[in-house]
Structure 1
Amino acid sequence: MAIHKLDLGEFDEIDYSLIAIYTPLDDYRLAYFINQKFNVSLSKSKKEIQITGKEGEAHFSRFHYYEKKKEISWDLIQNKNEIIHKQKKENLNLFSDIDMEVSSKIYMLPEFKKVDYFLKIENGDDLNVLKIQNTLNTIDNITTMYIADTDKIKSKNNLIF
């Protein structure tokens, strides 16, 4: 009887580029500028990225474009979000029955807490990521950006959607 062995290393292979973007722009404005510069058509996806953490559940906005000819997928993803959860005071005093609303930040990729957005390009082997980075640099309100090292990301599962 023949023994078949599966190599799970093939599934762990990263087939996308990830560009970290720092900008004060809103997500829809950044998507508009990217659409202009790269002749793509990023549009707001109804499927937001949902992440549950110890603080609660957060939804991150996502703008998506799929280029059928080249089979390249573009995603502009929000990294920071603020959630509000109720916290009950446990002191036995005059204000013990008050529920406080506490706001806390949650990150899609906690390793990059200062990054505002990520541009994820899947199957873009034909594309020059450095050229994309230089073109992004021409957008006025982008403070800085860099190609994120995907080997250092511990929460890679958050990028599967």
Structure 2
Amino acid sequence: MEVLKLSLSDFDAIDYDLIAIHTSLEDYRLAYFLNQKLPILLSKSSDFLEFKTSNGSAFFSKFSYHEDATDEEWTLIENKDELVEGIINTPTDLFSQEKEKIIYNVYFLPEMKKVNYFLKVESTVLRLTEIISYLNTIKQISTAYAVDVKNLKSKNNLIF
């Protein structure tokens, strides 16, 4: 009888590219500019990426495009969400009935806190260097660069 062994490294194959984007644009504006520069049509997904934290649930917006003919998949993901928690003050005077707000920042990829958005590209005909050069021609993007996914601690967040 033959024994078949599987190792976890067989399932760790990364078949996508990840691009970090630094910009102050809102997600819908960035998707608009990406649609103009790249041969894609990103549209807002109705489902958000949800992460549960000790302070509550964080929701990250997602824009996606899928081309059936070439089996391309493009996903634009925001990296930061703010959780607001209200705390009621104990009244010490007449005007202290207001709630204090504590804001927690939650990141999609916590080790890359300065990145605003990520563009996940799966099986495209364009080379990664071409995509990055197109992105860097958009005036509103400060910079865009490739991310080495193998070195990310939270790369499991990219599985959705």
TM-score (norm 2): 0.89
Alpha-carbon separation, structure 1, partners of 2:39 and 2:110:
31
Task: Percent identity, please.
Answer: 46
Other-structure match for 1:21: 21
Structure 1: how far apart are the matches of 2:83 and 2:91? 28
Structure 1 segment 44-83 matched on structure 2, within 5 A: 44-83=44-83
Gaps of 5+ in 1: none
Tell me by how many angstroms 1:149 deviates: 1.3
TM superposition outliers: structure 1 runs of 4+ over 4 Å: none
What does residue 121 of structure 1 align with?
A: 121
**Aligned position for 1:145:** 144
Q: Matched residue pairs, number? A: 158
TM-score, normalised relative to structure 1: 0.89
In the alignment, the residues of structure 2 paired with residue 114 and residue 15 of structure 1 have an alpha-carbon distance, to the nearest angstrom, of: 25
Residue of structure 2 equivalent to 1:39: 39
How far apart in 2 are the matches of 1:13 and 1:111?
Answer: 21
Amino acid at match of 1:80: K
Partner SS, residue 141 of structure 2: coil
Partner-residue secondary structure (3-state), 2:137: coil
Residue 155 of structure 1: CA displacement?
0.8
* 1:12-53 deviations in Å (ceiling 9; x for gaps): 111110000000111001101111111211000011100112
Alpha-carbon shift at residue 101 of structure 1 (Å): 2.5
One-letter amino acid of the structure 2 residue matched with residue 10 of structure 1: D
| Match status 1:103 vs 2:103 | yes
Q: For residue 152 of structure 1, report the CA deviation from its aligned partner.
A: 1.8
Amino acid at match of 2:12: D
Q: Which runs of 5+ in 2 are unaligned?
A: none
DSSP 3-state at the match of 1:25 = coil
Cα 1:88–1:152 shift into 2, 3 Å:
farther
